[in-house]
Structure 1
């Protein structure tokens, strides 16, 4: 290879390794000072693995030059420099650690350039080095004799800590804990230096330093104020409290200056004592009694939230422990304070409001979706639930979050999402601060800084784009879960109210219930007391669950109904062991139950008649629809075990009731879509619901048929008998309130006369209808046979021969149109297949429709529009007969099927949406028009389902009741207060669909 070729090859390799200025990097790599590493591919690979290879290479060269400067006259690489370079060549741990630190932190590179021998702090790679704690850090700082030496020793310790971080031998939580331990050791050494400078002050008092904030929580940043509170008492034998406090104040102030002052060696970090009573206006040091008096009389809510993280870190250990023990009861009583929730919410809002507008989108810590959202949500849950559950009292955010998940206060999936997001955001924050060792929580502006940050997090192919994508994903999860969790525990004190025990005033409880949307807080309080009072196991579990579930109820349009339904279900199942375990151990089950109970009347009414169906909500696959064949077999088996026809149909209804609940619950919870109601894909969800309901009702008809036959004829009916689904039943498009449109078909068995077979078929059809119309609290399944030949005047059940004769002589175009939806649903499958074969020429007529037939269909449609719309109904919102509603779309699609089904197999389907898609594929309708029709049809169908789910009875238009209307809106994905937007959207979408219908149905040639 030529010299030019080698240069090009080297240039390309440097680019691949991540160098942004490969030409300059090549010159640096060729420096004589780095001669021992020339041509070493492992060295180049190690540089390429760093966050910023250019910075790492330059930093290494500066260290070598500094070492050479200490040994002038020894050539381009003195003995100490050669020792370093040889170690880099032969020792992979050192190579990765040193270059990793240099690539991630320009500030630590500056430190190494000033103190080049500190590279040796990275040379050891032993167990003790991997897991240092406060004692190990104290040992490293023990011989420090002055503040500047402490600053140097602190940075030396920080080097090894950062190396463990960037090389991945410690995760972000362990790194934050190490930083807190290093800060603790540093505070202790700084206090020792202050005491040595003023021994008379040290002798006069007992001074304890209490770590607060991230230092107290063992989750410190690289660069952060170290929050502390000072507590002091006179030393043993001393009587003058004022003199002791003055002495302690001088020691505390001196300690703070040692840590906070900036010299040629930089600074360690500011020590912030503003979390003390009265803040910066209060005395720096107080006695324990003075602290307690303040907290008991004047402290604000946020001060107790801050005390959650208090731990002794330096000074008099016994006094520090006494302080923490004394303030802890006050912390865990804070949730009982008047306006506690309002105070916490207002404080969070003030934090967000204080962010400069230009920084909001760059804030990792304070902004929406940032670290504070996680911390506030976790702390609020701790303060509320930690009073009775000591497992929640960790000052560490991630440990507390883990405990909240373990205790069922936070869903496991939510906790995992928050944990992952918090770790990601803290890692970003760490790496941003590590670069310049500056206190910041902002995403850097420059692309170079963002690229370094992204590479430090492992993103390499498109670092900046990948970083922003991950950041958006985690921030979005935090925002969503913060909103979900931050309001969830507000009513814990209400839930724990018991007779004779007032944890919260009734007025405050009432106000909180009202704030969450409970229309009848008095009734809600009574339900809470009934559920949670007493010392039973049931009451204890309810006291744990209710704060969570009340928040979920409050997310609905009718929280009062949700709470009442929950009380009824709990009364029915509260003594059942599996129910209590399900609610306690399966976070998803409790949330699912709350969502379902508060979403409307249909699903709770089903559940109250079959409360054991709650178990479906805790089963991972419990909400998946059953296979139709398996469901039919289960129904037939249940019918077979029953005594008598009426008991048999009751058994079939029981299966249907459970399956209706399964389907409704899955629909309400978004299980047919992606991640929830608002995120579910409406069309896919609707199709799944239609399929499920069709299968459920087909199984019920099969059960009723079996029951009717067995009651009179035993094993076999004298006639073969089939049930043909029509309308939305045959189209797999049933809603929760749909009737079962059917045709009954029969033919004689061998040796049976036509008359006898017809008589038996009529009897079994009549019995099926009777059985299914028996009084029941279950949602009715109405069999509607009015689409049969001659309608209500015609024979209820016809033979196949009779159908053939009728259709050959008397059939009219509307019957052909109705037969487009005909499909087998129950009974003799072979007979049904012959019937469908018989009617295919009618519904897919050879050559399509003539002009007279098309005119007749249009005339019938126009007549329906003018005559069948209920008096007073709003044509713009009636989902079935209104403008752009179901009938408009279906008749338009069915006209295409009648005209072109004979030649296009895709149109030979009973399903509206499938036929519409086939029409697009065949270029009978353009994609834009089809999308408009499909959107309107899906929306109208979902509105009908929503009305049934919310009201518990069918309806073709939006409810007039405000809460019911809001419930429909929530089902459709609209946030509270946006029902007007929902109605506007419906009118707009259906208006556009009607315009398409006018062109395609009425104006088509």
Structure 2
């Protein structure tokens, strides 16, 4: 029995072990003292080699297991070779310290360590022929004879993988060579698997020609350690065989090939073979003829399928047929950028990738996350598709080779290409080392401290390895994000502004092609705007050159990039000499992105901004987009009116405040709907709609208060002989105004004590008419039409009535529809006490005691049916008219208002002017079921948002979806639909409103 070492000696041993990277020196010392390692347990050269491994503890455990698995003679040979042969020592310990899975393989197959002994020139960079030979010896040689051939192939594959991993961790090969070797090994494996399949079914092999086309990373010779191998199968009948029979035979061979590679047995697995990139994916036949492939790609293929063909490479089977496949389809690849839906498809694919990442994994994703490998690959491939049409030097299937060609051609700056190359190599190496440990397919950074330490050491980081690894990873991810944004746009600036005369510049033609591919409908105009913004040597031009690459990307991600760029040029022209403007956009990241979203989101917000460009400052302030309340707005408006010289100047000042606040609200709405990098899109569209409705209503109320103050001050000063109040009606009183709504109002007055009633009435009429005149004066500011047609007797009745006159009219003449209209009456301006008394007057009318009689209910239903038949505009589609169409605003509002008039007298919750609040109160009271209430609420919110979206996009009100495709797409983006999904938007709208109409038929009409 081994005696324990003295304390001092043990302490010295532990220190040595810690110095060489062991984290558990006690366990390491115990393993080193095992009888099997007795000849080398104190060898300083061996300890030094352990210190070079990613995980010395894991390497030592792996060595003990390997030595224990040898017979005595082989053990002595292994230990002697370890001590004397540095290449083997570095390779073997390096592999076992970096890969627990390969250490397990060595323990299971203890003779395979001998494959790491040789160190000749041919061994440094093996290619497909060398791998084919190694696999053939393992499968059909003496060693494989006793095993089923698929298992023999699995063992031989792992043995080859040992050599690749050894060269990788020892630094003999770089990332590109490792990825190429892995792809070449995969090629050899596919060929061996096909040979096994053909040997098992010689009859099938005799009647068909089958070619295996590698796709993805295998096709690009940039494979990972653990990855699906993407393939496509193409077959032809041999002479004398019917095509159908040949395809059936080829399908059996292909299926067996996939099974040989993908099956899991006692010897593990190789990798899954994925054929889902074939035409029609999983729904399509596994094998097609070349003519069938060609027909599909000519007629049905989507843009991403051509992007996938960038990496197509014949790998196994009939080489002539495989090459014919690639040669036949290659011309279609380089026409993909000319497709009408190219930009839409590319954007959708990019969004789907990002959206598919689980929230908990976004910050750990090396491949799919922001700043990850997919960002690099996506950028390179898009540039290839755009410029490879006319430049054949760009048609490489390998990402780094393509990036080098893009730099050589001047499509990417050389420094940018070098930085992107370095970041890509770092991230791919990180991915490789993560996968190598357990031979599992993953792209997630580990969270365990031990795993992170091993990973960092495998990357050559030995001082504070975990912190250093995290810092380098984050730095490279930031670089990828920065360069991903810059990659498309910086050369565009170079083309128009001559920014880097020392480099090969992108030609104006190539720049135009790129802009067109990115969604700009007028690339010539876009280049002209860019030149105007970025040319020259001024400080302003220099800042613009910093901003434009990012802004162009944000514009390109919108439904109308041209409008965004044009708007940016106009704002920049207006504010270019203002020192704070460009500084704000440069230094406040949120301001620049917010501006890009606003300028490319439609016409309304840019039009408002261009009339007062200084409102850009709102986009950078912390609370700049938060709507202001009615009290604050009214105070500002009244103060501006008080400073103005004359009534017209006073109302102009009030309208100026309204313009700025409309911009604030519209900008917040667009950004809330679209989201930004730092601010996700608003998840509750109803909340966003409520905010907009309240903000616009409060703003219009403050503007009316200003107009009232100006009208009174102009002729009467403070001596108006009557009290005067403005009552909001309809959506105004309900705090539900949209951007283009009229202000429905009633005017009410009450003579002051001692005043002549006729003089008071005359003064009230003059005030109301003056308000209307002032607000209708021609102006560049948005109009605020006042509509008083809901007053007693409509247009035939007096514009203004006294409170007593209203009381007399409602007592004697009021009709049911007038009581219904009063449900949303609320004071908005003028004498507050008079407004309250007006509400007290009408409450018994709109919430009648004991509710409505049957005759009144029938009258309301009759009026609604008449409105449906008479007021819908001629030619309008009743299934998509947001206000009067099926299941639209009117349907929901009349249903809710019927509840209010029937039950408002007994249910206080129904006594509100707001539709959604009243609907919620009706549900809470049990007047309508949960599902029915949700259906009505969803339809009302959707219809109201459609109206807002149309106004934001077109700059003028509308109740139907736009006919113009680009405007329709912009409304879709506002409603949360990706570009290209306007059909889904219309289908969803029709389905939502159809369900709502069903509820209305049941609840309102009693059907």
Please classify the TM superposition score into its range, dividing by the shorter chain length: 0.5 to 0.7
Structure 2 residue 976 is the aligned partner of structure 1 residue 978: no
Distance in 1 between residues matched to 2:314 and 2:931, nearest whole Å: 47
User: 1:563: Cα distance to partner?
Assistant: 1.4
1:946 to 945, 949, 952: 949
Distance in 2 between residues matched to 1:274 and 1:942, nearest whole Å: 52
2:564 to 562, 565, 573: 562
- The RMSD of aligned alpha carbons is 5.3
Report if the CA contact (8 A) 2:658-2:699 is conserved: yes
Distance in 1 between residues matched to 2:165 and 2:747, nearest whole Å: 97
Distance in 1 between residues matched to 2:865 and 2:4, nearest whole Å: 93
Distance in 2 between residues matched to 1:976 and 1:79, nearest whole Å: 68
- The match for 1:698 is 701
Distance in 2 between residues matched to 1:732 and 1:397, nearest whole Å: 52
- The match for 1:798 is 801
- The match for 1:628 is 630
Correspondences of 1:367-406 after superposition (within 5 Å)? 371-376=372-377
Task: Using structure 2 for the length normalisation, give the TM-score.
Answer: 0.61
Distance in 1 between residues matched to 2:375 and 2:562, nearest whole Å: 29
What's the CA shift string for 1:178-214, capped at 9, x where partnerless?
Answer: xxxxxxxxxxxxxxx99xx99xxxxxxxxxx9xxxxx
Distance in 2 between residues matched to 1:398 and 1:632, nearest whole Å: 58
Quickly say closer, same or farther: Cα 1:370–1:595, change in 2 above 3 A. closer
User: 1:66: Cα distance to partner?
Assistant: 3.9
Structure 2 residue 393 is the aligned partner of structure 1 residue 492: no
- The match for 1:749 is 752
- The match for 1:930 is 933
Report if the CA contact (8 A) 2:820-2:846 is conserved: yes
Quickly say closer, same or farther: Cα 1:545–1:697, change in 2 above 3 A. same
Structure 2 residue 67 is the aligned partner of structure 1 residue 64: no
Distance in 2 between residues matched to 1:797 and 1:787, nearest whole Å: 12
1:550 to 545, 549, 552: 552
Correspondences of 1:27-42 after superposition (within 5 Å)? none
User: 1:628: Cα distance to partner?
Assistant: 1.7
Report if the CA contact (8 A) 2:646-2:714 is conserved: yes
Report if the CA contact (8 A) 1:496-1:543 is conserved: no
Distance in 2 between residues matched to 1:352 and 1:366, nearest whole Å: 21
Quickly say closer, same or farther: Cα 1:907–1:439, change in 2 above 3 A. closer
Distance in 1 between residues matched to 2:747 and 2:377, nearest whole Å: 64
Structure 2 residue 83 is the aligned partner of structure 1 residue 146: no
Report if the CA contact (8 A) 1:677-1:971 is conserved: no
Correspondences of 1:205-604 after superposition (within 5 Å)? 268-269=169-170, 271-272=172-173, 275=176, 366=367, 371-376=372-377, 433=436, 435=437, 441=442, 486=484, 489-498=487-496, 503-604=505-606
SS at the partner of 1:847? coil
- The match for 1:881 is 884
Task: Using structure 1 for the length normalisation, give the TM-score.
Answer: 0.61
Structure 2 residue 963 is the aligned partner of structure 1 residue 960: yes
Quickly say closer, same or farther: Cα 1:271–1:551, change in 2 above 3 A. same
Stretch deviating more after TM superposition (144-153 or 715-724): 144-153
1:894 to 894, 897, 902: 897
Report if the CA contact (8 A) 2:372-2:477 is conserved: no
User: 1:527: Cα distance to partner?
Assistant: 1.3
- The match for 1:412 is none
What's the CA shift string for 1:556-576, capped at 9, x where partnerless?
Answer: 222212211111111101111
Distance in 2 between residues matched to 1:588 and 1:936, nearest whole Å: 33
Structure 2, unmatched stretches of 5+, are: 8-21, 44-50, 69-82, 100-117, 125-159, 182-216, 222-302, 316-352, 384-402, 456-472
- The match for 2:339 is none
User: 1:350: Cα distance to partner?
Assistant: 5.5
Distance in 1 between residues matched to 2:731 and 2:628, nearest whole Å: 20
Quickly say closer, same or farther: Cα 1:348–1:616, change in 2 above 3 A. farther
Distance in 2 between residues matched to 1:843 and 1:724, nearest whole Å: 15
User: 1:923: Cα distance to partner?
Assistant: 0.7
SS at the partner of 2:495? coil
Structure 2 residue 62 is the aligned partner of structure 1 residue 110: yes
SS at the partner of 1:657? helix
Structure 2 residue 669 is the aligned partner of structure 1 residue 667: yes
SS at the partner of 1:973? coil
Distance in 2 between residues matched to 1:913 and 1:752, nearest whole Å: 43
Distance in 1 between residues matched to 2:168 and 2:487, nearest whole Å: 42
Distance in 1 between residues matched to 2:1001 and 2:481, nearest whole Å: 45
Quickly say closer, same or farther: Cα 1:737–1:370, change in 2 above 3 A. closer
User: 1:400: Cα distance to partner?
Assistant: 7.8
User: 1:272: Cα distance to partner?
Assistant: 2.5
Stretch deviating more after TM superposition (385-394 or 644-653): 385-394
Report if the CA contact (8 A) 1:673-1:685 is conserved: no
Quickly say closer, same or farther: Cα 1:505–1:813, change in 2 above 3 A. same
User: 1:753: Cα distance to partner?
Assistant: 2.4
Aligned length: 708
Report if the CA contact (8 A) 2:827-2:835 is conserved: yes
1:846 to 845, 849, 852: 849
Distance in 2 between residues matched to 1:698 and 1:514, nearest whole Å: 45
What's the CA shift string for 1:209-257, capped at 9, x where partnerless?
Answer: 9xxxxxxxxxxxxxxxxxxxxxxxxxxxxxxxxxxxxxxxxxxxxxxxx
Distance in 2 between residues matched to 1:147 and 1:491, nearest whole Å: 48
SS at the partner of 2:519? coil
SS at the partner of 1:272? coil
Structure 1, unmatched stretches of 5+, are: 1-31, 37-54, 73-77, 81-97, 117-142, 160-192, 199-208, 210-258, 281-301, 307-342, 402-421, 458-474
Distance in 2 between residues matched to 1:262 and 1:532, nearest whole Å: 53
What's the CA shift string for 1:294-326, capped at 9, x where partnerless?
Answer: xxxxxxxx9xx99xxxxxxxxxxxxxxxxxxxx
- The match for 1:1001 is 1004
Report if the CA contact (8 A) 1:723-1:742 is conserved: yes
Correspondences of 1:85-124 after superposition (within 5 Å)? 106-107=58-59, 109-110=61-62
SS at the partner of 1:669? helix
Structure 2 residue 614 is the aligned partner of structure 1 residue 612: yes
Quickly say closer, same or farther: Cα 1:658–1:144, change in 2 above 3 A. farther
